[in-house]
Structure 1
Amino acid sequence: MSSHPLPGKKAAASRVALPYWLREFGRIRLATAALAGTLGIGAAAVFASQWHRDGALQAREQAQQTRDAAYTRFSQVETEKREIRAYQPRFLALRNKGLIGPGKRLDWIEAVRQVQERRKLLPLSYEIAPQQAFAAAPPMAAGDYQLRGSRMTLHMELLHEMDLFNFIDDLRQYALFTVQDCNIKRQAGAVNVATSAMLAADCTFNWLTLAPAEAAPAAGAQKGAP
């Protein structure tokens, strides 16, 4: 009598035994899902925090730059205000003397006439050339303005040298100018020292003004003999 295994036992024997951790997975499945969800939420929170931190740093840096620019501008304004307070009196004085603005040729002519009459000088003659750019030595920083000059050639008859020196000193009270050159020579044939010209002077002056760089030069040469 042969013996054969029963079908049920044979099927049970052919099954492979599962690892214990896999057999117990069903018990921790919910906990594992909860852990995965928690990790995902944590990662998203870290990313969001980093993003907000970077944005906050950028905003802080931009605010710092804006504040620095505002402080720099404020410092510049304060410096400009101090410079205005310091230089305004000098600027007004120069403007009153005719340096700032277009050349006041009629005022120059009147100044020459007044000095001649007050000093009771002998006859003189002059010619004022058209205004043009003037090159100062050393060069002068004038900003938006340009230094301009009107050349005046002057011929004076003198009783003595002090007539010329007094004339120049008095003329400086009315306007600003440079004396480019002066040549004094003795007059021939003078007989009366009290009334006759013993000397003659030929000088070249440059009447100076500061005008906006785009301003056009004054027109026309002028001659005179006060």
Structure 2
Amino acid sequence: MEALSKAVPAAARVPLPSWIAHFALIRAAAITFTVTAVVTVAAVVTSYWKLQHARQEEALAQGTRDAARQSFVHVEAEKQDIRVYQPLFLDLRRRGFVGTENRLEWVEAIRQIQEARRLLPLTYQIEPQQPYKLAGAVPTGAYQLRGSRMTVHMDLLHEMDLFDFLADLRQRGVFTVQDCAIRRAASAGNAPLAPGLTADCTLNWLTLTPAAALRPQGVR
């Protein structure tokens, strides 16, 4: 037992490696290096994260700027369109093309033209209004293009009576001539006001009506 107790302290006194024995000399530098390395890595990671965040904010700001620029260009284009087309729009509205159908104005216009041109008596009939379909697709937005077919029978002294009537009528509204046939009057005589010709025409009165005005009452 005595020999064993003496052997243990002897083993405990085994010399440590030289780098451990001298670590105390560089301990402060090692700690400083470790702290500096950790701070450097953290700074690099933080800088990279901030760089990516800044790039994202830059991309977002650039997208917002581009959207604002496109919106500005669109608004300027709309303003230019308004300046160009507003006179035409006002003229079409004055002629009754934009808005709801007003047959009383058409009837009054026909009467006034007949009296002003001193035309021979004429007869006409207007059918119920229907949606008017064009050959190609035309965007009308919140409006619907509608048409009312009107058949006209006229007694004419000469062809210009018909042409003058249609020309004057175009100043009062918008319509298309579907067909028009001129024939020699069967009862043409030598009287000064005897009709020499007759004309039968089919017109389509057109209106660009707001869709809200076509919605039945109580329907939303």
Tell me the TM-score range normalised by the shorter chain.
0.7 to 0.9
**Which structure has the bigger radius of gyration?**
1
Helix, strand or coil: the match of 2:202? Answer: strand
Q: Provide the rounded CA distance (Å) in 2 between the counterparts of 1:133 and 1:195.
A: 40
State the AA in 2 paired with 1:200.
Answer: T
Q: Offset of 1:81 from its aligned partner?
A: 0.8
CA contact (8 A) 1:159 1:193 kept: no
CA contact (8 A) 1:152 1:204 kept: yes
Q: CA RMSD for the aligned pairs?
A: 2.5
User: Which among 179, 203, 214 is matched to residue 177 of structure 2?
Assistant: 179
Helix, strand or coil: the match of 1:181? Answer: strand
C-alpha spacing 1:99/1:14, structure 2 compared with 1 (3 Å)? closer
Q: Offset of 1:16 from its aligned partner?
A: 4.0
Helix, strand or coil: the match of 1:37? Answer: helix
Alignment gaps of 5+ in structure 1: 1-7, 218-226
Helix, strand or coil: the match of 1:215? Answer: helix
Helix, strand or coil: the match of 1:82? Answer: helix
Helix, strand or coil: the match of 1:208? Answer: strand
User: Which among 133, 142, 155 is matched to residue 140 of structure 2?
Assistant: 142
Q: Provide the rounded CA distance (Å) in 1 between the counterparts of 2:187 and 2:82.
A: 58
Q: Provide the rounded CA distance (Å) in 2 between the counterparts of 1:193 and 1:13.
A: 155
Q: Provide the rounded CA distance (Å) in 2 between the counterparts of 1:14 and 1:40.
A: 37
Q: Provide the rounded CA distance (Å) in 2 between the counterparts of 1:14 and 1:50.
A: 51
Q: Which of the pair has the greater relative contact order for Cα pairs under 8 Å at 6+ separation?
A: 1
1:94 equivalent in alignment to 2:95 = no
User: Which among 25, 28, 31 is matched to residue 26 of structure 2?
Assistant: 28
The 5-angstrom pairing of residues 20-169 of structure 1 reads 20-169=18-167
- TM-score, L = length of structure 1: 0.83
- Over the matched positions of the two proteins, sequence identity in percent amounts to 53
Corresponding pairs, count: 211
State the AA in 2 paired with 1:69.
Answer: A
Q: Offset of 1:13 from its aligned partner?
A: 9.1
State the AA in 1 paired with 2:62.
Answer: Q
CA contact (8 A) 1:102 1:209 kept: yes
State the AA in 2 paired with 1:192.
Answer: N
Q: Offset of 1:142 from its aligned partner?
A: 2.5
More helix by share: 2
